Amino acid sequence: MDRNHWPALPYSAWRETCINLQLRSQIVGKIRLARTPWLNHSWHVPLYLTARGLTTGPIPHDERVFQVDFDFIEHRLVVQSSDGRTESHALVEQPIADFYQAVMTLLRKCDLEVRINVVPNEVRDPIPFDVDRQHFAYDAPAVERFWRALLQVDRVFRQFRSGYLGKVSPVHFFWGSFDLAVTRFSGRPSSVLHSDAPPGLPLSVAREAYSHEVSSAGFWPGGGGVEDAAFYSYAYPQPAGFAQATVEPREAWFDKGLGEFLLPYEVVRNAPSPDETLLAFLQSTYRAAADRGAWDRDALECAMGVPGVPRSV
């Protein structure tokens, strides 16, 4: 197997670039946030994987539509408008303040008036984008490795998503927490009113996100209490016995501090079948949440999808 499909991602080797990339993604993500009607559980704000990087997808602007793309092959940020205009900016080492101004210039060149909140979300000690000259690193090969890892994770998450008839989120990249996630819902409102939120995230947003029972899984590149890249899975509200559940593979564990199961990315990357190993983690942690939360699994689940074959009913 070509290991480049699941590249090495030691967090310490690209920590500064990762922090910088998160801030850049927040600038772009906030553009979508500023122009898109609110969807349940903040599904209107994430970015999505593409064959070249990450995209906002179509954003309404009066009668026009535009989108903003990270191209991690040519390392450019590209703004495209439905009237045919295209502007781009090279992704290189550059202070966040200069990158922010460059993005706003691209929008103005396309006659797109967008204002965003310049304070980063879900990061400690945030520095407003327009004055941040502290963060500037950009290791292009490291960014490309991260994106190529995301491509593989996205592919497996989509397969996992196909085995559910109930409400399930798209596979999407949240720029605030900087993770790729997919969430299954039991269909019942949460019995617990969410009482806290990450730094810079309004409590009203967190409460709306967790208004219903969920089993959520995702992928982090590292940092924020996790030493290196890892997969996670949690239930909200957490049912009794969830933390004590036996899950697969054996290298996975429940982190009491974070309140979720973790599986190192390296375990998946080095497994004989990374897809099967990751799917085992996703399925077993979901079952732990669903069984202990008394979800109606017979009504909610189905066989995972196969290309070109309609689901049997």
Give the integer Cα–Cα distance in Å for 140 and 153: 20
Q: Encode pLDDT of 86-118 as tens digits.
A: 999 999 999 999 999 999 999 999 999 999 999
Q: What is the DSSP string of 96-161?
A: HHHHHHHHHHHHHHTT-------S-SSSSS---GGG--S-----HHHHHHHHHHHHHHHHHHHHHH
Average pLDDT value for residue range 22-36: 98
Give the integer Cα–Cα distance in Å for 120 and 172: 19
DSSP 3-state assignment of 203? helix
Helix axes 11-35, 96-109, angle to 10 degrees: 40
Q: What is the pLDDT of residue 3?
A: 52
Q: What is the pLDDT of residue 151?
A: 97
Q: What is the pLDDT of residue 4?
A: 67
Q: What is the identity of the amino acid at 172? A: H
Give the strand order in the sheet containing 212-220: 172-174, 179-189, 212-220, 230-236, 260-264, 253-255
211, 189 Cβ separation under 8 angstroms: yes
Q: What is the pLDDT of residue 5?
A: 87
Q: What is the pLDDT of residue 223?
A: 87
Q: Phi and psi of 43, rounded to 5°?
A: -70, -5
Exposed/middle/buried for residue 200 (C-beta within 10 Å: 0-12, 13-18, 19+): middle
- Per the document, the length of the chain is 313
Q: What is the pLDDT of residue 225?
A: 76
Q: What is the pLDDT of residue 55?
A: 98
Which pLDDT band holds residue 137 (cuts at 50, 70, 90)?
very high
Residue 181 predicted with pLDDT over 70: yes
228, 266 Cβ separation under 8 angstroms: yes
Segments in 162-253 forming alpha helices (H): 203-209
Q: Encode pLDDT of 79-90 as tens digits.
A: 999 999 999 999
Q: What is the pTM of this model?
A: 0.96
Which pLDDT band holds residue 196 (cuts at 50, 70, 90)?
confident
DSSP state of 4: G
Residue 1 predicted with pLDDT over 80: no
CA-to-CA separations, 255 to 197, 231, 258, in angstroms, rounded: 19, 12, 6
Which pLDDT band holds residue 25 (cuts at 50, 70, 90)?
very high
Give the integer Cα–Cα distance in Å for 102 and 130: 11
Average pLDDT value for residue range 15-27: 98
- Average pLDDT of the chain to the nearest whole number: 96
* Tokens at 272, concatenated: 């004989």
Helix axes 11-35, 140-161, angle to 10 degrees: 60
Give the integer Cα–Cα distance in Å for 280 and 288: 12
* Tokens at 205, concatenated: 């947003």
Residue 198 predicted with pLDDT over 90: no
Residue 209 predicted with pLDDT over 50: yes
Which pLDDT band holds residue 2 (cuts at 50, 70, 90)?
very low
Q: Which residue has the higher pLDDT, 285 or 5?
A: 285
Average pLDDT value for residue range 147-161: 98
Q: What is the pLDDT of residue 227?
A: 84
Which pLDDT band holds residue 226 (cuts at 50, 70, 90)?
confident
